[in-house]
Amino acid sequence: MIELFPTTEEDASDIVRSHAQAGKTLAICGGNTRSGFGNAVTAVSRLRSTNLTGIVAYNPGEMVLTARAGTPLSEIEAALAENGQMMAFEPMDHRPVMATEGEPTIGGVFAANVSGPRRVIAGAARDSLLGVRFVNGRGELIKSGGRVMKNVTGLDLVKLMAGSHGTLGLLTEVTFRVPPRPKAETTIIVEGLNDAEAANAMATAMALPLEVSAAAHLPMTVSWKFLDGTLPPSEATVLRIEGLPGPVEARAAKLVAAMAGFGRVSHLDRNDSTQLWREVRDALPYADGTPRPVWRVSVAPSVGHQLVAALRLETGVDAFYDWQGGLVWMRMEADAEADLLRRFLKALGGGHATLIRAPEQVRAATSAFQPQPEAVELLSARVKAKLDPAGIFNPGKMTGT
Whichever domain contains 89, its CATH number is 3.30.465.10
Residue 309 lies in a domain: yes
The pTM of the whole model exceeds 0.85: yes
Say if residue 190 is in the same domain as residue 268.
yes
* Count of C-beta atoms within a 10 Å radius of residue 360: 10
Per-residue pLDDT for 330 more than 90?
yes
User: Cβ contacts of residue 30 below 8 Å, gap of 6+?
Assistant: 48, 49, 50, 69, 70, 104, 105, 107, 108, 111
- The mean-pLDDT minimum among 18-22, 106-110, 146-150, 215-219 falls in 146-150
Q: Is the pLDDT of residue 400 over 70?
A: no
Domain range spanning residue 300? 290-365
* Domain total in the chain: 3
CATH number at residue 232: 3.30.70.2190
Is residue 389 one of the residues assigned to a domain?
no
- In terms of domains, do 13 and 115 share one? yes
Q: What is the pLDDT of residues 13-52, one digit of tens each?
A: 999 999 999 999 999 999 989 887 777 777 789 999 999 9
Q: Residue 372 has what pLDDT? A: 82
> How confident is the model at residue 307, as a pLDDT?
97
Domain at 313, CATH number? 3.30.70.100
Assign 294 to helix, strand or coil: strand
Domain boundary among 221, 249, 281: 281
Same domain, 273 and 132: no
- Pinpoint the alpha helices (H) of 208-287: 220-223, 245-259, 270-281
Among 52, 78, 81, 82, which residue's Cα sits nearest to residue 67? Answer: 52
Read out DSSP for 260-275?
A: TTTS-EEEE-HHHHHH
Does 388 reside within a domain?
no
User: Among 56-70, 142-156, 257-271, which stretch is predicted with the lowest mean pLDDT?
Assistant: 142-156
- Mean pLDDT of the chain, nearest integer: 92
DSSP secondary structure code for residue 232 in this structure:
-
268, 305 Cβ separation under 8 angstroms: no
- Pair 271, 299 in one domain: no
Do 159 and 195 sit in the same domain of this protein? no
**Same-domain check for residues 136 and 156:** yes
Based on the fold, state whether residues 318 and 333 are members of the same structural domain: yes
How many of the other CB atoms lie within 10 Å of CB of 227? 16
More confident of the two residues 35 and 302: 302
Q: Which residue, 177, 202, 230, sits at the end of a domain?
A: 177
- Candidates 361, 283, 291, 274; CA nearest to 323 is 283
Residue that finishes a domain, picked among 248, 263, 281 = 281
| Same domain, residue pair 113 and 22 | yes
CB-count burial class (<10 Å; 0-12, 13-18, 19+) for 150: exposed
Decide if 9 is inside a domain: yes
Asked if residue 371 belongs to a domain, the reply is no
Same domain, 202 and 87: no
The phi and psi torsions of 176 (rounded to 5 degrees) equal -150, 160
Q: Are both 193 and 47 inside the same structural domain?
A: no
pLDDT at residue 88, rounded to an integer: 96
Q: In whole angstroms, what is the distance from residue 299 CA to residue 326 CA? A: 5
Closest CA to 345 of 297, 301, 293, 283: 297
C-alpha of 370 from chain center:
15
Question: 17 with 158, same domain?
Answer: yes
User: What pLDDT does residue 156 have?
Assistant: 84
The values of phi and psi at residue 306, to 5°, are -70, -40
Same domain for 107 and 214, yes or no, is: no
The answer to whether residue 392 sits within a structural domain is no
Reported as a single tens digit per residue, the pLDDT across 160-211 is 999 999 999 999 999 999 999 999 999 999 999 999 999 999 999 999 999 9
Determine, yes or no, domain membership for 393: no
Residue 373 lies in a domain: no
